Amino acid sequence: MTKKIIIGSDIKTAQQNLEKGNLVAIPTETVYGLAANAFDIKAVAKIFEAKNRPTFDPLIVHTDSIDKIKSWTTDFPSWAEELGNYFWAGALTLLLPRKAIIPDLVTSGLPHVAVRIPNHELTLELLKSLDFPLAAPSANPFGYISPTTANHVFEQLGEKVSYILDGGKCKIGVESTIIGEENGKLIVFRKGGIAIEELEKVVGKLIVKEHSNSNPHSANKQKELTKVASSGMLLSHYAPKIKMRLGNIEEMIKEYLPNNELQLNEIGILSFTKKYNQIPLKNQFILSEKGDFSEAAQNLFAYMRELDKLNIKIILAERLPEKELGRAINDRLRRAAY
């Protein structure tokens, strides 16, 4: 007898499952998360098992108030206060020194915990009903495209989830921006749903730390533990099963024109604003014909999924202008194509 997966908007059902130590998929403004009681090691272990996620990759902890965050961190510095007061609830994650109540498994043994208050009405109501925070990475198999609808979660995790809290399509569509402090300087560890330009208006100049040199497929993952300071820092991530190339689409198409091994109808296109006459329209996904970064971010992961379902052999994608949310989208495209 197969287990029945329930998709719905009943907060009470989600609450009861989480209190039992089960996994629940939750909606946020960024992507859907795979949530468990962050204080319960056995429940957190189920996240890593369900996602096939290496334990050297730390999780983000979600709650509904700054006061709760302060209760399980040893310090909440002034820069965190400024950013939290301005951007929470929102697509911002902060790295803060943790108390022992946060298990090592959540932080991969690191001294800091990644925390955020998501901006989604259903999930905020759920978090208020719980007496524990939720550890919640994206609700997808490790390394694959992040989910932006409840159905995406259902398609890829199926019976591994006890309940999927359906909050509709994610409004932002890329993960949160992660900020921490090193040697007295504020560092962006992951580009995300809040543009660096907006953050700098509040706390001044930020240093952007590019992705880790860690390889999620390395045979010796333990040696790489110190290289991953926060979630979302691996070189290869957010990737479709079909190979993706990143560059000038027009030039890449020309490479394949005389190539007898690959037909043009076997090429998929993921572009910012433009269509390409040489490639069948059904194989082309335009992130935003009007060049809107927010619309492009909302569509990014969904369109990558649609391309991954086509009978094609390669996806050709292009970078967006390196500004505002374009930075976060480019970050995801680089990793998907790595």
pLDDT tens readout for residues 146-167: 999 999 999 999 889 999 999 9
Q: Residue holding tokens 């996620």?
A: 53
Find where tokens 């096939």 sit.
52
Structure tokens at 252: 């890449």
Handedness of CA 141, 145, 147, 152 (dihedral sign): negative
| pTM listed for this prediction | 0.89
Top CATH class of 6-227 equals alpha beta
Q: Is the pLDDT of residue 212 over 60?
A: no
Distance of CA 152 to the CA centre of its chain: 13
CA 306 – CA 283 distance, rounded (Å): 9
Cβ neighbours around 118 below 10 Å, total: 29
Q: What is the mean pLDDT of residues 95-120?
A: 96
pLDDT of the residue at 213 = 41
- 6-227 and 244-336 agree in CATH topology: no
Which carries the bigger pLDDT value, residue 260 or residue 287?
287
Which residues touch 184 (CB under 8 Å, ≥6 apart)? none
pLDDT tier, 258 (very low <50, low <70, confident <90, very high otherwise):
confident
The least confident of 225-234, 271-280, 327-336 is 225-234
| Sequence spans of domains, the chain | 6-227, 244-336
* Two structure tokens written together for 23: 């996994």
pLDDT, position 218: 37
Integer Cα distance of 25 and 37 in angstroms: 12
Q: Model confidence at 238, in pLDDT bands (50, 70, 90)?
A: confident
- 35-82: pLDDT as tens digits: 999 999 999 999 999 999 998 889 999 999 999 999 999 999 999 999
Residues 64, 70, 74, 76, Cα dihedral to 10°: 100
Q: Report the mean per-residue pLDDT for the chain.
A: 91
Fold annotation for 244-336 = Rossmann fold (3.40.50)
pLDDT at position 256 is: 86
Residues in contact with 233: Cβ distance below 8 Å, sequence separation at least 6, in sequence order:
189, 190, 209, 211, 212, 214, 227
pLDDT for 158: 87
- pLDDT of 220 over the 60 cut: no
- pLDDT score recorded for residue 173: 96
Report residue 209's pLDDT band, with 50, 70 and 90 as the boundaries. Answer: confident
335 vs 132, higher pLDDT:
132
pLDDT range class, residue 229, cuts 50, 70, 90: low
Q: Please give the share of the chain, as a percent, with pLDDT higher than 90.
A: 83
Task: Tell me whether residue 283 is exposed, middle or buried, using C-beta atoms within 10 angstroms of its C-beta: 0 to 12, 13 to 18, 19 or more.
Answer: buried
